[in-house]
Structure 1
């Protein structure tokens, strides 16, 4: 397949999967329940955090998260009492438990009160062609207040060679806007050209079959390789191809 044939093929698959029908089967449906910016970004961040494993289970447990936050995540984060936090301790999704949930609520509140919110924090340390350094800085700031050591494992660090799939997915949701109604595009301080593909087993396997990725592990080095290849196909919106790679892997068994 020539480069043009590959681009044409992937562009067709982007059109096929990057549309509102995608929402019904994807965890992105959770932040789509909300209309206020802060509610959208907090619900999206929490949903992305537990987005590993079975997608039905992710959606079910993210829905429970929102119920525990009284369907008002920003208000809960900013005005919760100690008693409110106790109710969260029953939550569990795989290795993310109620203590982690409580810690996340405390850390998110710290970001809104001390760092002007999630968007401002991610934008502060962004570089012109990548957001991986800002993810590293975000993790440091997220845990700069008193915290449980065990909870640190739930935020990946690209500087430790992680592909940081879940945070990159969250950033795609917040930054990218192509007017189809899937990704939100509510963060205006960042640009889609800075985004990295949420690399997972599905997108990684398809990327290898298409010759976009050679490295066998789905780690930070593989992400850099895949990002480089996708930017050659579309430097302004490289992660639109996440829809194509994921769709081919999950829905078509490519």
Structure 2
């Protein structure tokens, strides 16, 4: 990695990891809330819906929040069957009412037994894990393991076991885990380390990273996300995913 590449990444990280980044990004959705569980629920949902234009993602996430009376945690815990009718018309691309109702079922089941969604991602010997690979596999199996799970909903929860880059879940973990004083990421989880995070690798980040020589692998899959993370870990072993801001920013600038 050349000195000019390092300088560019540091410059763009500083440029985009700042509060004025928030309003135009899906992370603005959980930033509307202050309660930990509300942040988790809406952060998770905004991340899962994060494909397509950012404006549309934000609008659809706001629609979900409105349907939950702008109190996601309270609604998830206490909704009755009759409250679910309002979700039957919800749709975002291939995410439909069946998926929506199962997500609500999962949230209700989970939060009746747990205080934080972080618990759903934890694995035995979490501290000893190099990356969140096992956390993502474990979460997928747990999320998809409840009674009445609809098979079609599986496509919305990626897993490294299927070689997916897990872009949206990695982005959600970045939001919840990364801790700094910039005001963008929340840093409300402390059992997963920022050093374990894996880069959210979408087509734009992938294209910029390849142009900068950070990825050599031809396919774009889970191993590619690990390769990119390993390259960025050389710059900051404790917080490699902070450079998501830089690569994403360069992507939306049309750097490549």
TM-score range, shorter chain: over 0.9
After the TM superposition, list the runs of 4 or more consecutive aligned residues in structure 1 that deviate by more than 6 angstroms: none
Q: Which runs of 5+ in 1 are unaligned?
A: none
Whole-Å Cα distance in 2 between the matches of residues 52 and 179 of structure 1? Answer: 28
User: What is the TM-score when the length of structure 1 is the normalising length?
Assistant: 0.96
Q: Distance in 2 between matches of 1:27 and 1:109?
A: 23
Please name the residue that 1:245 is paired with. 247
- The CA distance in 1 between the partners of 2:221 and 2:35, in whole Å, is 34
Alignment partner of 1:154 is 2:156: yes
Listed one character per residue, the Cα deviations across residues 147-170 of structure 1 (whole Å, up to 9, x for unaligned) are 111111110011110000000000
Match of 1:11 in 2: 10
Write out aligned runs for 1:7-86 (5 A): 7-86=6-85
Aligned residue runs from structure 1 range 43-192, under 5 A = 43-125=42-124, 126=126, 127-146=128-147, 147-192=149-194
Contact kept, 8 Å, 1:197 with 1:223, in 2: the verdict is: yes
| CA distance in structure 1 between the aligned counterparts of 2:46 and 2:178, rounded to whole angstroms | 17
Matched residues in 2 for 1:139 and 1:62: separation? Answer: 21
Using the alignment, how far apart are the partners of 2:76 and 2:65 within structure 1?
12
Deviation string, structure 1 residues 67-120 (Cα, Å, up to 9, x no partner): 011100000110011011121111000000011011011112222224553112
* TM-superposition CA deviations, 1:167-190 (whole Å, max 9, x none): 000000000021111000011112
How many residue pairs end up in the alignment? 253
Within 2, Cα distance between the matches of 1:182 and 1:75? 25
Q: Retained in 1: the 8 A contact 2:194–2:239?
A: yes
* 2-structure distance, mates of 1:65, 1:217: 34
Does structure 2 conserve the Cα–Cα contact (< 8 Å) formed by 1:168 and 1:198? yes
**Residue of structure 2 in register with 1:195 after alignment:** 197
TM-score by length of 2: 0.95
Task: Tell me, yes or no, if the aligned pair for 1:108 and 1:142 is still in contact at 8 Å.
Answer: no
Instruction: Tell me how far 1:204 sits from its aligned partner.
Output: 0.4
Give ranges in structure 2 of 5+ residues lacking alignment: none
For the 8 Å contact 1:77–1:105, the answer to whether it is kept is yes
